[in-house]
Amino acid sequence: MKLPKFMNAVIMTAAITMGGSAVQAQQAGGSMVFLVQPEPPTMAGYVSTSGPIGLLGPKIYDGLFDYDNDGKMIPVLAESYDTSADGKTVTFNLRKGVTWHDGKPFTSADVQFTIMEVLKKVHPRGPNSFKEVSSIDTPDAHTAVFNLGNPAPYMLRALSAYESPMVPKHLLEGQDIKSAKLANNPVGTGPFKFTEWKKGQYIRLDKNESYWKEGRPYIDRIVGRFIPDASTRAAAMEKGEVLYAAYNAVSNVEAVRLNKEKDNISVTTDGYSMINPMALIEFNTKEGPFTDAVVRRAISTAIDRQYMIDTIFFGYGNPATSALSSNFAATGLHAEMPHYPATGDIAAANQMLDDAGYKKDSDGVRMKAMFDLIPYGEDWKRGGQYIQQVLGEIGIDVELRYEDVPTWLKRVYHNYDFDMNLNYFYQLSDPVLGVHRHYGTNMIRKGTHFVNSSRYSNADLDALLGAGMTEPDAEKRSAIYMEIQEILARDMPVVNLFELEFLTVYNTKLKGAYGSAMGAYSSFADAYLD
Amino acid sequence: MNSFWNRFSRNKSAVLGLFILGLVVFMASIAGLIYPDDPFLYSRFPLSGPGVNGFLLGSDSIGRDVASGIAHGAKTSLLIGLIATLAAVFIGVIFGAFAGYYGGLVDDVLMRITEVFQTIPSFVFAILLVAIMKPSIESVVIAITVVSWPAVARLVRGEFLALKNREFVQACHTLGMGDVRIMMAEILPNCLSPIIVIGSLMVATAILIESGLAFLGLGDPNVMSWGFQISDGRSMLRVAWWICTFPGIAILITVLAINLVGEGLNDALNPRLRERN
């Protein structure tokens, strides 16, 4: 595979000459190759929220709205919406003249079908997002009226192409949605059409010539490449073979190096605010050593969050200060709580355990525990090993367990056979969507992944979560979530560690791809090559 | 014994290997004295180069001392190599002895079983076993044992086949000795030399398999080992070369030393082959 030196020179010259002509902005044409890691199982974003599907799906399917980096709603398939005074009716005015990639027109019937028959039934988070939607009326082809049981302000944060893609009724109706052929031959209304899937290598999407937005997309072709090895991915980025890598497809350490060493490679942490990933420890509150909230609070107090961010994630991240991400501060739903010190306080943690009567034995051990680690790679193993050392200092002797993904999921979310578990959750764009599932009694769902595995159950909290879900008034809602955060800072069934900041590494040749809060999970209709 | 040492020391590289191996064993045995702290202990000085901030061979991404890891890792590597080899030799000798001594149906059955294990590529098989059991020091030892014993079984069977009709064995029969006694007390001592040689080489293989498993993330996360250090530092090779370079060198010279010793043992224990050079 090694090219002779002079060949490289020839290619380089050619590249420079071609690049030289691209002076005017927003030039159309070109191929955009980016990293998709790992290879997705299907492209059915309406059935799975899996990351790699999110990278490709929103380029093929549109949502009703998109969101800009300030969280403002940008019209996509819906041009506008109206909420009735009581908050129980939301009317969407749909864009006219939109067609599916197969030429059929997009109408309100598609919206009705997507929400009621697809997202509410088979989507992992749809049943939550559209819980209050009891029916959808379609007075004409371009109007969809959502009838809600209760006001559901959070629903308007879940309308992106990633979270709620609009799917064609005529290709899914009457079929088993989960096994429909559409999963591997996606037909959407988005800026790019699915063309080819070469298993193990790439997925190719081509420009949708009849896209509803005039003059878009700029790019002719998008190729999502699958490269299993991390160092090869970094090398592909370095050599300019791929132009875009999100969700840490290029590891932080390499990203920092490339950003520093290469003029044409940059990194950004934008594009993840609707995802809101939070690193955390889930505790088994029903059995084992962590049934007492004091111990859980002591652990939260001992861990040096900033140290973990600095050393394991190379400075990208923010220490958690409550059960909710600080990104919710914009909507008034976040406040700093006690027992979340940024730098850790071993002495205070020891004091808490001493006061609670947990005596150290002659080896300095108060209790033993098993610590499961999310099997997503070395970073998490390193994090676990750090926490193991810290807990040793406060007299908790933990053993680490690192298993394969299915075994781990079964252990934590089906058998509840764990003491403490290092993990991360997406808190998403609203606590209702991403956080309630972690704490509500109704979210103790044996066998469902990433819900309340702590089996924490508190009637007061349940009532507050219910109230927070339906409260339309921003100020009252803020007060409800203050109370929720206070309860969770006291009981701590889950200790939040830090808000992860995923990194997007990109070649500066790629422009216009950074305007959406959905980041890599956005359509790329406005992206162009310079 | 003297003549054994004479023959062994005639192979200069074997003596060098023995010396290096001695150093590694010494390092492993005093690891707890020179680095009394847990090798997983983090510090405030991540990614320090060799010699910087008091780290002889540098520190890793969360500030753990690479040198301490190598010293403690030596213990892990040697112990795993030794225990897995002993277990494999034990199983292999029993299978091989019975198959070779009795022949016929017993031989067929035992050798078919052995072949089942031999047909699966050993490293892939080891990965599979560790993945099925949870990654822990025990499961790694078991996996290495399971993939290593068939070679011993085949070797021992061959030796037993060759020896079982010799006069001294027939003499034992006439004296009315039991089969097990003949096998273990008479034939086995006569085929010890090749077993020792294959065993010594197996220790080296076992260390490599353990490192390979740890490299793939299938090591025990609670136990420091060279393979773990390499897998931990691999993603940072471009930024901090020392994290995986030094454990890599440790594996290289240890495995080389064991192989040299094995060669030397072979020369010393099989004097007839000695003149081949």
**How many other C-beta atoms can be found within 10 angstroms of the C-beta atom of residue A363?**
7
Indicate if the pLDDT at residue B8 is higher than 90. no
- SS3 (DSSP) at A268: strand
Beta carbons within 8 Å of A12's beta carbon, 6+ residues apart: none
Give pLDDT, residue A39: 87
Encoded tokens for B172: 């034992």
Give pLDDT, residue A231: 83
**Cβ <8 Å between A385 and B131:** no
Beta carbons within 8 Å of B53's beta carbon, 6+ residues apart: B45, B59
Instruction: Give the pLDDT confidence of A320-341 residue by residue, as tens digits.
Output: 999 999 989 988 999 999 999 9
Indicate if the pLDDT at residue A23 is higher than 80. no
Give pLDDT, residue A1: 42
Mean per-residue pLDDT, B39-64: 89
Give pLDDT, residue A511: 92
Give pLDDT, residue A331: 85
Residue found by looking up tokens 């190599």 in the block:
B81
Encoded tokens for B60: 């890793």
Give pLDDT, residue A6: 45
Mean pLDDT in chain A?
Answer: 90
**Cβ <8 Å between A311 and B234:** no
What distance in Å separates the CA atoms of residue B52 and residue A459, rounded to the nearest whole number? Answer: 55
**Cβ <8 Å between B41 and A389:** yes
User: In this structure, are residues A252 and A503 in contact, taking their beta carbons and an 8 Å threshold?
Assistant: yes
Percent of chain A with pLDDT over 70: 95
The B-side interface with A (CB below 8 A) comprises 38, 40-42, 44, 46, 61-63, 131, 134-135, 217, 221-222, 231-232, 234-239
Instruction: Give the pLDDT confidence of B80-109 residue by residue, as tens digits.
Output: 999 999 999 999 999 999 999 999 999 999
Nearest to B239 among A257, A311, A392 (CB): A257
Give pLDDT, residue A334: 94
Instruction: Write the DSSP symbol of residue A419.
Output: S
Give pLDDT, residue A416: 96
ipTM score here? Answer: 0.81
**How many other C-beta atoms can be found within 10 angstroms of the C-beta atom of residue A164?**
26
Confirm or reject contact between A381 and chain B (CB < 8 A): yes
Instruction: Give the pLDDT confidence of A181-225 residue by residue, as tens digits.
Output: 999 999 999 999 999 999 999 999 999 999 999 999 999 999 999
What distance in Å separates the CA atoms of residue B110 and residue A304, rounded to the nearest whole number? Answer: 57
Beta carbons within 8 Å of B273's beta carbon, 6+ residues apart: B266, B267
User: In this structure, are residues A417 and A401 in contact, taking their beta carbons and an 8 Å threshold?
Assistant: no
Question: Residue A500: how many CA atoms within 13 Å on its side-chain side?
Answer: 25
Q: Which residues of B touch A253 (CB under 8 A)?
A: 61, 235-236, 239
Instruction: Give the pLDDT confidence of B104-136 residue by residue, as tens digits.
Output: 999 999 999 999 999 999 999 999 999 888 889
For residue B50, name the pLDDT band (cuts at 50, 70, 90): very high
**pTM of the entire predicted model:** 0.81
Instruction: Give the pLDDT confidence of A351-383 residue by residue, as tens digits.
Output: 999 999 999 999 999 999 999 999 877 788 899
Q: Which residues of A touch B131 (CB under 8 A)?
A: 404
Indicate if the pLDDT at residue A159 is higher than 60. yes
Q: Which residues of B touch A231 (CB under 8 A)?
A: 234-235, 237
Using alpha carbons, select from B24, B46, B236, B225 the residue that is nearest to residue B144: B225
Residue found by looking up tokens 């004097």 in the block:
B271
Mean per-residue pLDDT, A74-84: 95
The amino acid at B162: A
Confirm or reject contact between A458 and chain B (CB < 8 A): no
Residue found by looking up tokens 């934590």 in the block:
A412
Indicate if the pLDDT at residue A11 is higher than 60. no
Instruction: Give the pLDDT confidence of B234-253 residue by residue, as tens digits.
Output: 888 888 999 999 999 999 99
Give pLDDT, residue A10: 45
The amino acid at A47: V
Indicate if the pLDDT at residue A417 is higher than 90. yes
What distance in Å separates the CA atoms of residue B231 and residue B218, rounded to the nearest whole number? Answer: 10
Beta carbons within 8 Å of A63's beta carbon, 6+ residues apart: A76, A77, A159, A160, A161, A162, A163, A164, A165, A166
